[in-house]
Structure 1
């Protein structure tokens, strides 16, 4: 059986922005909560500036930064791979990319049946 697919990945543009923000702010983390306004975008924080909830799920890492998702969002998106990208615009009010002229954005794709079975066998979903 092949290696299980990553539950979160990032585009080259996102990885480059993460590297820039890391150089400015030190170690980072991402949180995808869900809900309206800023909460519907992936938020980037300096580690220590955001307290991860006890029930939040760590999907993986992008650019060396852990990526967490709220339990309700995980239940909804567990069948998809999240692909973090960057697009022109204004970042979330509290997200570190705010003021950069770009913002992080979640794209996604459905896991194949085989990929989902691998994640299930590994206890990831």
Structure 2
């Protein structure tokens, strides 16, 4: 019966050595950097990149690319009763504009209505 554990004990030092060498890169991928977004824009041939789930709202134009980040929609609250939300409920609204183009706005819900978060950041 105990002979079945012999391979486990022989491989255990290698497993421990390997597990100590692993480093997590999750925190470095939290917010996409401008180089990655510019490359995504060039590959897809678009001038607007919309992304989210990084918990940081963003609406800015870098070079010729408009960057919009809606933040996060996770239902996180500061209290047990769920009355004090941590994040504002933001979203990206893309609508028709003049000259057969489209405009994008970063908006948020306030008392059941939507408001533009940073109107000066529009392109």
TM category, shorter: under 0.3
Does 1 or 2 have the higher relative contact order (CA < 8 Å, sep 6+)? 1
After TM superposition, the score normalised by the length of structure 1 is: 0.22
Q: Higher strand proportion, which one?
A: 1
Return the index of the structure with the highest Cα Rg.
2
**TM-score, normalization: structure 2?**
0.23
